[in-house]
Amino acid sequence: MTITDVQAQVEEIAQTMVILEPSDRAAMVKVGEQLLELTGHLRESGFVEAAALTENAATVASAHPEQGDVPAAVIATVNQALEVLQEMLDQETPADLPVDLQLGAPVGAMPPAAETMAGDQAAGSDEAAAVPLLRPEGLTLSPLVDDQIIAEFLSRQSDSIGDMEKLVLSCEQQQDAAPIEALRRWFHTLKGESGLLGLSDLATICHATEDMMQAEPTSQCVDRLLAVTDWLQTCFAYLMDRGPLPADAASILALLASPPAPAVPAAPPAQTPDAAAERAPEDVVDEVVEDVVDDVAEAAAADATGRTDDNDGVEVDIEAGAGELPDYSSKYVLDGDVGLLQDFIGESREHLDASEAHLLTLESDPGETEALNAVFRAFHTIKGLAGFAELDHIQQLAHRAENLLDNVRRGELDLCGQVMDLVFESVDVMKRLVEGVMTALAGSGYPQLEPQLPGLLARLHAVTSGQPLPATPLLRPAAAPQVAVSPAPAQLRQPAPAASEPEPETPAPPSATTLAGKTGFVPLSNFKRRSDGDAASPAHPAAPAPVATQPAATAPVFEPESEEAGAPAAGAPSRGGGKASGVKVKEAMRVDAERLDRLINTIGELVIAESMVSQSPEVRSQMTVKLARDLDHLDKISRELQEIGMSLRMMPVRPVFQKMARLARDLAKKTNRQIEFVMTGEDTELDKNVVDKIGDPLVHMVRNAIDHGLEASAAERRAAGKPEIGRVELRAFHKGGNICIEIQDDGRGLPRDKILAKAIERGLVREGDVLTDRDIHNLIFEPGFSTAAKVTDISGRGVGMDVVRRNIEELRGTCEIHSEPGRGSTFSIKLPLTLAIIEGMVIRCGTEHYIVPTLSVVRLVRPVASDISLVFDRGEMLAFEEEYLPLFRLGRLFNVSTAKADPTDAVVVVVEDEGSKIGLLADDLLGQQSIVIKSLGEAMQNTEGVAGGAIMSNGNVALILDVAGLIRAAQNASTVLRHTEELPMTTAEA
Amino acid sequence: MSTDTLKATMAKPGKYLSFVLGREEYGVEILKVQEIIGIMEVTRVPRTPSYVRGVINLRGRVIPVVDLRSKFKMPVIENTEKTCVIVVQVAQEDLTVTMGVIVDEVSEVLSFTQEQIEPAPNFGGGMDEVEFITGMGKLGKKVLILLDVDRVLKCEELAEIAQAAQ
C-alpha cells in the first residue's frame, strides 16, 4: 500500500466523519474499524508513528458509550487525528511525529521544529535537562496541531474535569459501575486526544490511570484519581498560560503505580519490607513503572552497599512533588491515619522543643552527655514516628541528624560551631516540616516545601561523613573526596557536590527544576538514558535548561547522594529500623474552650453547693459517723474534680520561653554579641490563651533587649566596666495575683535624652514639658517610634514595642519599663490571671474576708505593743526584723468600720512587692487555699488595691488584694494617711 | 455639661420590664435583661463609688451590682423580701458587660407603642439623673420612667469615680 493509497483512505474516513451525525453510532464504529485497518497498513509501510496515531484514533472512535449519541469529543478527536494524519502523509515524514500514545513507549525524538518549540515552551518552565523525561516536551503542543483545535480541546477539558472529580468522588461513595465506566471513557478519550496533540505526558498519565482502574477497585484508588485530576487541571491551566508548570508526569506515574505511599517505589522492596508490602502488586504496575522500580532497586542497592540501616536506601525523597502538587495534601490527609499524624505532630513538637532546650544546655556545657543523648533520642523517636506516619522526608532528615549526633556521641565530632548550627538548623527545618504536615492535615494544602531541606540534608551528610563544610578549612580533605557525593545517577544533573552547594536564600519557585531536583527521580533519568540512548549529554546537563521568567536556575538541586560517598563506616549502625511500634502515643483531645469554661464553672458551683450542704446546720444536727464519712468522701471527690478542672486550661510558659532562648541565641550570633540568656520560672502556669498570645510580645522584647539594650560590642561593655558577656534574663512569676514576665538586660538602659529628642521631633511631646522617667519610657510604645539610627533586619522600625503593647493590652495586662542609664532595662509584663490559680491566705477584717496571695506574704506576725511606733502621731510603724515597716490597717484602707482597733489583738501580714515591704493589719487569719481568680469585670477592674475576686466555699465573693497596688496606694497616697486622721484612732472592737 | 447633649435617645416602642424604686415605677428594655435573681450576699468592694453595692457570685461569675436607689440619690433602705437584682447586659463601647442592679421590687413586663411613649420632662438644672431617662411610658393611669440602662451603668463613669474616690 502506497502513501497515496493511505492518503485516499484517510480522505475517505475524513469525509465519513464530516457527514457523521452524532446519533449515528454505527457509522462511528465503522470509522473505528477503518482506522484500525489503516493502522495495519501504516505499520506494514513502516509509518510507526502514524500507525500509533491511527490506532489511538481508532480506540477513541470505538470508545464511545454503548448507548446514546457519539460524544462530540470523540468526533472532534477523530477529526483531529485525521487532520494530523493527513498532514503527516502530505509531508511524508512519518517517523518524526512526537506521538507517544503508548505507555511505556519512549518519547520519540522530536522533529527539529518541535524541538525548538519545546524549547520555547519550556523557557518559562525552566525544566531541568538533567531529567530528560521531565522536560515539558510531554506538555508541549505538537506544532502540527492547529491553535484552534488546542484551544477547543483545552476549554472542553478544563470544563469537564470538574465533572470528572465529581465522578471520582461518587465512586468512593458507591460501588456503582456507571461513574467508573464514565471515568474510564473519559480518561481513554483524553488519552487519545492528548496523544494527538502531542501532549505525551497527559497521554501517559491517562494510560496509567486506565491501567490502575482496571487493576484495582476504583474505590481504593480514589485518592490517586483525584491526584490525577488535580494534576490534569494544573496541566490545562499551564497550557492555557494560566498557571504554573504542573508537577512532572513521573511523580504522578509513581503515585499511580504505588498505592499507599507514592514515593516509596523509590525504596527498593528488599530494603523496606513494610513499604513493599503496602505497594501495589507488581502485575499492576505497568512497564515503565516496573522499569522505574527496577532502576531504583539497582540504584538504591548500589547506594546502600555495606549499609544495614534500612532508611538509607530511601534516597529518593518523599517530597516527590509534595510541595508543588496540589493533590499531595489530600494524599496525606486521606491516606495516612489522621490520628496517627496528629499524634506525630504533637509528639514531634514536644521532642523538638525539648531538644532545643537540650542543645542550649549543650552549647554552654558540651560535656553534658545526658543532654546529647536526649537530643539524639528525640531525633531517633521522630524518625521512628515519621516512618510510622509515612512521612519520609521528615524521617530522612531525622535520620541524617541522628547520624550526625551519633558521631558526636562517639566523639568523632565536636558539637560546636558549624556542627552545632547544623543541628539547630535541623531542629528548625524539622519544626517547619512538622508544621507543614499539620497544615496539610488541616486541609489547607501542602505548603511550600522547605527549600532548605535538600541543602541541609546534604550538609548533614557531609559533616557526618567527615567532609568539611564549605566555610571550614579542609581538615580532612583526603578522607572523602567531594566528588564522591555525586554517584552515577546524579551525573545527569548538575554535578554540584553537596558540600559546595549554596544555601538558597529564597524559596525556589515551584518550577520543575526544583521539583526534579528535590524529587531526585533517579530511576527516570536512568530509564531515559537507557531507552533513549544519549538523549541528553551528561557532560552538559544544564544546557537545555532554559532560564526565563523564573530564577529557578539557582534553585537547590537535591543531590541524591548515596551513603557510600564519604565514610560509610562513620554512619550510624542499625538501630532496629525506624519503625516506632514501641513509642507510646500520648492521647490528646481538642475541646472547645467554651465548653471547658462551662465545665470549670460548673465544677466550681458543685464544690460550693457541696460545702453548703455539708456545712448546713440541718445536716450538722443530724451528723452520724457514717454521714460524716460520706460527706468527707464527697468533699474529696469534688475537690479533686476542682483541681482537675482548674488544671485543664493551664499550661506552663516553658514552650514560649524555650523559643525565646532559641531566639536569643540566634540573635546573639547574628549581631555578634556574647550573651548569657537566663530563664527562671518556666513552670509558671498560665492560661493557654495567654501562653499563646504572649509569644509575639516576648519576641520583640527579647530582640530589643539584645539588639538595643545590650552594648554593641564587648569592648563597649568593658569600657563601661561590665562583664563582656551580656546578660539577658527572662523571668516568669506570680506576683500579687498577677503573672509577671520580665525581661531584664544589663545593657545601656534606655537613652532618655534620645527618646525625648525624638518625641519632640515627632511632636509627641512639647519642648519644656516636664516628663517623668516613666512617661519617657512609655514613649517607646508609640507606634513607629524608634530611636534606631538605622533599621536592621532585627529591629529598628519602631513596630515591635507597639506590638508588645497591643498584645499585652489585649490580654488586659500592663507593661512597665524600669531603666537605668548604663545599668540596663527591665521590661515587666503584668498579666491578669483570668483563670489562673493562686494560693491565697484568707484574712478577716471586720466582717469582710479578703485574700492575700500567699506569694506576696513574707510573714505573719502578731505584734506586741512595743513593736508599733507612731510617726507624726499618725503614721504607724512596725518593727520587723530590724527594719521599720510602714503599717497600714486594712480596716482603714478599706473603710471597714467593724475592724479591730487594737493591733496587739490583730495579725500583721507582712507583704512584699518589688522589694518594698509593708505590714497590713488584719483581724484574723482564716486559712489558706487555692483559689481561682475572677475578674471583677470591666467596671471594677481598676479598683486600686483589689486584684480580683474569688468565690469562697460559702458561695460569697471574697476580694483578692492587689499587694502592689496597696503598697502604691499606701505609700503614695497621702490621702490615705489623711483619711486615717479623720477616723477616730480607737474604734469599738467588732 | 448641658442637659441637652446628655439627654438620652428617645425610648423605642417595645417590651419593658417594670420595677419599683420607692413609690416610682421604672422600666428597662426587656432585651437588656438577662435574668432576675433574689438579693443575695453582696461583697462590698472598697474604694468604689457608694452606689456600687459590691460584687456577687452569679453562678461562678463575679459581677458588680449597683444600688439604683443610691445611684439616683434616693434614700437607701434595708433589703426586703422583695428586693431583687436585675441582671442586665449593658453595652460598653464595643463589649457587653453583665451587671446587676438592685431594685426594690420587680413588677411586670409591659408593652409600649410609639404613641404611649412621651419624651422625658425637663426639670432644668439640678437634676442630672434626667439624662438616664429615655421617655415616659403611659399605660392608663400608670406612668413608667423608661431608663437607658447603658447610660446608667456606664463603666467609664464608675472607673472615673473610683479613681476620684481615691
Q: What are the DSSP calls for A860-896, one per residue?
A: EE---GGGEEEETTTEEEEEETTEEEEEEEHHHHTT-
Across all residues in chain B, what is the average pLDDT? 82
pLDDT of B88 > 90? The answer is yes
Helices then strands, counting H and E runs in chain A, come out as 32, 18
Mean pLDDT of B13-23: 91
Q: For A253-258, what is the mean pLDDT?
A: 71
The amino acid sitting at A805 is R
Tell me the Cα Rg of chain B.
15
The residue-averaged pLDDT of A434-458 equals: 69
Q: Cβ contact (<8 Å) for A938 and B92? A: yes
DSSP chain B: --HHHHPPPPPPSEEEEEEEETTEEEEEEGGGEEEEEE----B--TTS-TTEEEEEEETTEEEEEEEHHHHTTPPP----TT-EEEEEEEEETTEEEEEEEEESEEEEEEEE-GGGEEPPPP--TT-GGGGGEEEEEEETTEEEEEE-HHHHT-HHHHHHHHHHH-
Residues 954-973, chain A: which have Cβ within 8 Å of B? 955-959, 969, 973
Residue A735: count other Cβ atoms within 10 Å of its Cβ.
20
Coil, strand or helix: which one is A859? strand
Q: Which residues of A388-420 are buried (b: 16+ CB within 10 A; e: fewer)?
A: bbbbbbbbbbbbbbbbbbbbbbeeebebeeebb
**Domain span including residue A925:** 837-982
Could you tell me if A36 lies within 8 Å of chain B, comparing CB atoms?
A: no
Cα(A280)–Cα(A257) distance, rounded to whole angstroms?
A: 7
Claim to verify: residue A723 and residue A786 sit in the same structural domain: yes
Q: Is the pLDDT reported for residue A973 higher than 60?
A: no
Can you tell me the distance from the alpha carbon of A703 to that of A695, in angstroms, rounded to the nearest whole number?
12
| Mean pLDDT, residues A553-560 taken together | 39
As a whole number of angstroms, the distance between CA B108 and CA B99 comes to 20
Quick check: A936 and B45 CB within 8 A?
yes
Three cell numbers written together for B11: 425610648
Tell me: pLDDT of B85 over 90: yes
pLDDT digits (tens, 9 = 90+) for A761-807: 877 777 777 777 777 887 888 777 776 666 665 556 666 777 787 77
Contact A939/B at CB under 8 A: yes
The residue count of chain B comes to 166
- Calpha distance A75→A88 (Å, rounded): 20
Pick A558 or A672 by higher pLDDT.
A672
Does A385 have pLDDT greater than 60? yes
Mind giving me the DSSP string for A11-67?
Answer: HHHHHHHHH--TT-HHHHHHHHHHHHHHHHHHHHTT-HHHHHHHHHHHHHHHTS-SS
Of B41, B60, B97, the CB nearest to A601: B60
Residue B48, Ramachandran bin (φ over 0: left; ψ between -120 and 50: alpha; else beta): beta
User: Could you tell me the strand order of the sheet in which A946-951 lies?
Assistant: A924-932, A837-845, A848-853, A957-961, A946-951
Distances in Å between the alpha carbon of A456 and those of A162, A414, A555, A557?
Answer: 40, 18, 14, 12
Residue A843 predicted with pLDDT over 80: yes
Considering A220-234, A473-487, A905-919, the range whose residues carry the highest mean pLDDT is: A905-919
The pLDDT value given to residue A526: 36
B94 touches chain A (CB under 8 A): no
Is there a domain that residue A601 lies in? yes
Comparing A901 with A276, which gets the higher pLDDT?
A901
Greater confidence (A28 vs A174) lies with: A28
Please give the share of chain A, as a percent, with pLDDT higher than 70: 60
The helix/strand/coil state of A465 is coil
Q: Determine, yes or no, domain membership for A110.
A: no
Distance from CA of A865 to the nearest CA of B (A): 28
| Strand pairing report for B24-29 and B14-21 | antiparallel
Q: Is residue B61 less than 8 Å (CB to CB) from chain A?
A: yes
Q: What are phi and psi of A857, to 5 degrees?
A: -80, 125
Q: How far apart are CA B109 and CA A366, in angstroms?
A: 76
Spatial distance between the Cα atoms of A511 and A437, rounded to a whole number of angstroms: 21
Please write the tens of the pLDDT for every residue from A877-935.
888 888 888 888 888 888 888 888 888 888 999 988 766 788 889 999 988 877 777 77
- pTM of the predicted structure, to 2 decimals: 0.41
Q: Where are the beta strands (DSSP E) in A413-484?
A: none
Which of 602-631 (A) contact B at CB < 8 A?
602, 604-605, 608
pLDDT at A150: 72
**Res. A23 pLDDT band, cuts 50 70 90:** confident
Best of B34, B40, B55 to disrupt the A interface by mutation (most A CBs within 10 Å)? B55
Closest by CA to A419, choosing from A474, A480, A466, is A466
Place of cell 496533540: A197
pLDDT band at B16 (very low <50, low <70, confident <90, very high): very high
pLDDT at A517: 38
What CA–CA distance (Å, rounded) separates A527 from A296?
A: 10
In the prediction, which pLDDT does B101 show? Answer: 93
Residue A141 lies in a domain: no
The whole-angstrom separation of Cα A56 and Cα A59 is: 5
Task: Tell me the C-alpha to C-alpha distance, in Å, between residue A772 and each of A52, A745, A777, A818.
Answer: 89, 22, 9, 12
In angstroms, the separation between the Cα of residue A880 and the nearest Cα of chain B is: 28
The answer to whether residue A560 scores a pLDDT higher than 80 is no
Provide the residue type at A792 as one letter.
T
The whole-number pLDDT of residue A531 equals 37
Same-domain status, A823 and A859: no
CA distance B49 to chain A (A): 10
| Residue whose cell numbers read 498570645 | A693
The three cell numbers locating residue A480? 572523602
**What residues of chain B lie within 8 A of the CB of A604, using their CB?**
60
Query: What is d(CA A102, CA B42) in angstroms, rounded to the nearest whole number?
Result: 86
**Inter-chain CB pairs, A–B, below 8 Å:** 93
Mean pLDDT of A565-592: 47
Supply the pLDDT for residue A842.
Answer: 92
- The share of chain B scoring above pLDDT 90, in percent, equals 27
| A583 lies in some domain | no
Q: What is the dihedral of CA A846, A850, A853, A859, to 10 degrees?
A: 10
Q: Where are the domains of chain B?
A: 3-161
Asked if A948 has any chain B CB less than 8 Å from its own CB, the reply is yes
Contact state of B62 with A935 under an 8 Å Cβ cutoff: yes
Task: Measure CB to CB from residue A601 to each of B52, B59, B155 and give the nearest one.
Answer: B59
Q: Does residue A828 lie within any of the structural domains?
A: yes
Does a structural domain hold residue A241? no
* Mean pLDDT along residues A699-723: 83
- Which of A97, A125, A149 finishes a domain? A97
> Measured between CB atoms, does A945 come within 8 Å of chain B?
yes
- Rounded to the nearest integer, the mean pLDDT of chain A is 67
Chain B closest-CA separation from residue A736 CA (Å): 17
Q: Which of A73-77, A115-119, A485-489, A680-684 shows the highest mean pLDDT?
A: A680-684
Contacts of A602 in chain B (CB under 8 A): 60
A937 chain-B contacts, CB cut-off 8 A? 55, 62-64, 97-99
Residues A747 and A855 in one domain: no
Q: Is B41 exposed, middle or buried (0-12, 13-18, 19+ CB in 10 A)?
A: exposed
- The answer to whether residue A654 scores a pLDDT higher than 80 is yes
Domain assignment of residue A423, yes or no: yes
Same domain, A868 and A800: no
Q: How far apart are CA A965 and CA A986, in angstroms?
A: 26
Alpha carbon of A702: minimum distance to chain B alpha carbons (Å): 32
Q: How many CB atoms lie within 10 A of CB A194?
A: 31
What's the total number of domains in chain A?
5
- A876 and A818 in a common domain: no
User: Which range (A176-190, A718-732, A901-915) has the least confidence?
Assistant: A176-190
Give the architecture (CATH level 2) of B3-161: Beta Barrel (2.40)
Q: Which residues pair with A36 in a beta bridge?
A: none
Chain B touched by A813 (CB under 8 Å): no
Considering only the beta carbons, identify the residue of B47, B60, B153 that sits closest to A943.
B47
Checking if the pLDDT of A581 tops 70, the result is no
> What is the distance in angstroms between the Cα of B116 and the nearest Cα belonging to chain A?
34
Test A944 with B47 for CB contact under 8 angstroms. Answer: yes
3-class secondary-structure state, position A594: helix
Residues of B in Cβ contact (< 8 Å) with A600: 60
- Residue A875's CATH number: 2.40.50.180
Q: What is the pLDDT of residue A473?
A: 38
Residue at a domain's end among A510, A534, A569: A569
Q: What pLDDT does A704 receive?
A: 81
Residues A753 and A871 in one domain: no
CA A81, CA A60: separation in Å to the nearest integer? 10
Q: Is B135 left (phi over 0), alpha (psi -120 to 50) or beta?
A: left
At residue A243 the predicted structure's pLDDT band, cuts being 50, 70 and 90, is low
Q: Which of A509, A534, A569 is the last residue of a domain?
A: A569
Question: CATH number, domain at A425?
Answer: 1.20.120.160
| Secondary structure string (H, E, C) spanning A749-780 | CCCHHHHHHHHHHCCCCCCCCCCCHHHHHHHH
Contact yes or no for B60 and A605 at CB 8 A: yes
* Interface probe with A: pick from B37, B39, B41, B43, most Cβ of A within 10 Å: B43
Low-confidence winner among A81-85, A443-447, A573-577, B76-80 (lowest mean pLDDT): A573-577
A680 plus A627 within the same structural domain = no
What distance in Å separates residue A935's CA from the closest CA in chain B?
Answer: 7
pLDDT band at A447 (very low <50, low <70, confident <90, very high): low
pLDDT of residue A622 exceeding 80, the answer is yes
Q: Does B162 touch chain A (CB under 8 A)?
A: yes
**CA of A979 vs chain B CAs: smallest distance (Å):** 10
CA distance A251 to chain B (A): 53
Q: What is the pLDDT of residue A590?
A: 73
Mark yes or no for CB contact A956/B99 under 8 Å: no
Partner-chain contact A957 B62, CB within 8 Å: yes
- Evaluate if residue A293 carries a pLDDT over 60: no
Residue A216, domain member (yes or no): no
By Cβ distance, the residue of A604, A896, A944 closest to B60 is: A604
Q: A716 or A852: which carries more pLDDT confidence? A: A852
A831: β partners: A739
Give A959's contacts in chain B (Cβ within 8 Å): 43, 45-46, 55
Its ipTM equals 0.81
CATH of the domain at A759: 3.30.565.10
A490 lies in the same domain as A616: no
How many whole angstroms separate alpha carbon B85 and alpha carbon B99?
A: 9
Q: Mark whether A972 and A923 lie in a shared domain.
A: yes
Grid look-up 539584645 returns A706
User: Per the CB < 8 Å rule, is B162 touching A937?
Assistant: no
pLDDT band per the 50, 70, 90 thresholds, residue A450:
low
Contacts with B43 from chain A: Cβ below 8 Å: 848, 949, 956-959
Identity of the amino acid at A974: S
